[in-house]
Chain A
Amino acid sequence: MYLVANIETEICAATSCKLCTQYCPEANTILYDNEAGQDKGFKYGAAYVAVDRCKGCAQCVWVCDNMAKHNAIKMEMIDQIGDTALTENVTYGEKTSSAVLANPVRGQG
């Protein structure tokens, strides 16, 4: 198994700095959902990771910890991460994107 980045939605939606999306070396990997935190009462959206594209470099972790100082991103084993975003479940909208979460090992459902 291998490590991928996982973003804590509650911490991310409270700050919404978007730094990790700008510093990720992989394109279309850390995406941004403008409505991610709204059901929990947060004003902003949150970033999320399309784990099938993540190469596990942990640059986003350094950026989140040291530049943004939010500590919202952790590296986790792909089989222990639970339901998360995959590229095939991502849909783009007007100035936002969103993903139906699925288990990265077992697939959707």
Chain B
Amino acid sequence: MSLDYVKFTPGFGKFMPKEYRDMVEHGPFGKKVSVSQVGTFKEILEEHPMCAGCAMTLFIRLAMVAFPNAEDTITVGTAGCGRLAISQAAIPFVYGNYGDQNGVASGLTRGLRLRFGDRPKDVVVMAGDGGMADIGFAQTLHSWFRKEKFTTIMLDNEVYGNTGGQESGMTNRNQVLKMAPLGKKFEKMDMLGMAKVSGCAYVATVVPNNPRRVESVIKKAVLVAREIGPSYIQAYTSCNIEYAIPTDKVMEDAKTVETDRYKFTEYITDEAKEYLSQLYGYKEYLPKPAAAVEKQ
């Protein structure tokens, strides 16, 4: 939780693995890094056991690069594929019981604010659609209604990928899966609508098909959650195993799904717009000049 926690004790550096030394000396801590610079610095995400070509892994990797202050960030997760990679990064990871990740994050955020005052410590929940929309649904929604100031990211692969392919609340209607042979009988849950109704200050949908957009969305969501209120990102991260997508066609699928039914959307409250434009220089949210408003 500070720049120092990753550094090794003086004299012990030479005994540390190369990856660790690289991370301390050439990692993103204390610097401003962007997605366009990847490949030239040591990323905080390390090797992990997730499947080859997994779009969720790509999203998590981009998220780890996009955190505005990686050294002051804690991730919270729960059971699901995502935690296999999120836990392999050089930032603290808290593993909640299945479904209580938003409850854990609520306590954590409040505790950090008590302990560190106005020094921003970002809490980011990253969990799957099962953990968030089915089993952790109540805790997720309640944390939004309570206006808990942290970011919630749903890694929406539209299936229980880790347990053999059962339908989740976020699976599309009529979708046939290994453990849903007759097809799903209900519509995909409208978590975006619920996030807006329950008072999230920033809500966005994104597909990892566009790395720079993923970066921008995550930066905004984390910054808004520092001061204004809860933020929610819903990311389409296909499961190439359960949906039988060849690994080299994962990005093609992402592109098709993005144009078809997972378009980029962004909802931001006026208060959050003002905050981002005043404090962090987001020019697109600056109030329009009076002349331009009159013309409309």
A interface vs B, CB < 8 Å? 18, 21-28, 30-32, 34, 47, 53, 55-59, 61-63, 66-67, 87-88, 90, 92, 95-97
CB distance from A19 to the nearest CB of B (A): 9
B25–A92 CB distance below 8 A? yes
B53–A58 CB distance below 8 A? yes
Q: A23, A56, A67 — which one has the most chain B CB atoms within 10 A of its CB?
A: A23
> Assuming A28-B43, A53-B47, A58-B247, is B252 touching A66 (CB within 8 A)?
yes
What are 19 A-B contacts defined by CB distance under 8 Å? A22-B38, A23-B251, A24-B61, A25-B53, A25-B54, A27-B43, A27-B46, A27-B61, A27-B64, A28-B43, A57-B248, A57-B250, A58-B248, A59-B53, A61-B248, A62-B252, A92-B26, A92-B42, A97-B26
A25–B58 CB distance below 8 A? yes
For the complex, count residues of B whose C-beta is within 8 A of A: 35
> Assuming A21-B39, A92-B41, is B19 touching A87 (CB within 8 A)?
yes
How long is the Cα–Cα vector from A55 to B54 in the complex, in angstroms? 10
Main secondary structure of the interface of B (DSSP, over half): helix
B25–A27 CB distance below 8 A? no
A59–B42 CB distance below 8 A? no
Which residues in A have their C-beta under 8 angstroms from that of B248?
57-59, 61-62
How long is the Cα–Cα vector from A30 to B61 in the complex, in angstroms? 13
Which residues in A have their C-beta under 8 angstroms from that of B251?
23, 59, 62-63, 67
How long is the Cα–Cα vector from A23 to B45 in the complex, in angstroms? 15
B103 in contact (CB, < 8 A):
no
How long is the Cα–Cα vector from A48 to B38 in the complex, in angstroms? 12
Choose among B19, B61, B249 the residue that contacts A62 (Cβ–Cβ < 8 A): B249
Interface residues of B in 34-87 (CB under 8 A from A): 35-47, 50, 52-55, 57-58, 61-62, 64
CB distance from A24 to the nearest CB of B (A): 7
How long is the Cα–Cα vector from A92 to B44 in the complex, in angstroms? 14
Q: Write the chain B residue with the least CB distance to A52.
A: B47
Which residues in A have their C-beta under 8 angstroms from that of B52?
25, 55-57
Which residues in A have their C-beta under 8 angstroms from that of B57?
25-26
Which residues in B have their C-beta under 8 angstroms from that of A30?
39
B18 in contact (CB, < 8 A):
yes
Q: A28, A61, A97 — which one has the most chain B CB atoms within 10 A of its CB?
A: A28
A59–B45 CB distance below 8 A? no
Which residues in B have their C-beta under 8 angstroms from that of A31?
39-40
Q: B19, B35, B53, B55 — which one has the most chain A CB atoms within 10 A of its CB?
A: B53
B22 in contact (CB, < 8 A):
yes
Which residues in A have their C-beta under 8 angstroms from that of B45?
27-28
Q: Write the chain A residue with the least CB distance to B41.
A: A92
Which residues in A have their C-beta under 8 angstroms from that of B47?
26-27, 53
